[in-house]
Amino acid sequence: MFSQICLTNILFSEISLTNVLFSKVCLTNILFSEISLTNVLFSKVCLTNILFSKISLTNILFSFRCVDA
């Protein structure tokens, strides 16, 4: 039962890695949003991805524990 939860977290960590990389792009858009109004709206989405990437980093660490177990 616990190994099934771990497998889902390992798969979820692969998705979260893309969000961590995407948050780097979002950070540049937040700085760029001072110039562009459309990027201000886009930076709101980016902020949620930055917050989500912090949660996903914990899932990556948790998935390593699952592999060790």
Q: How many domains does the chain have?
A: 1
Of 25, 30, 28, 21, the residue nearest 53 (C-alpha): 21
| Token pair in block for residue 33 | 């949003």
- The predicted structure's pLDDT at residue 6: 62
Query: What share of the chain has pLDDT > 70, as a percent?
Result: 0
Q: In the structure, what pLDDT confidence band is assigned to residue 59 with cuts at 50, 70 and 90?
A: low
Contacts of 13 (CB under 8 A, 6+ apart): 56, 59, 60, 63
Tell me the pLDDT tens digit for each residue of 25-57. 666 655 555 555 555 555 566 666 666 666 666
In which domain, by residue range, is 59 found?
A: 2-68
Q: In the structure, what pLDDT confidence band is assigned to residue 11 with cuts at 50, 70 and 90?
A: low
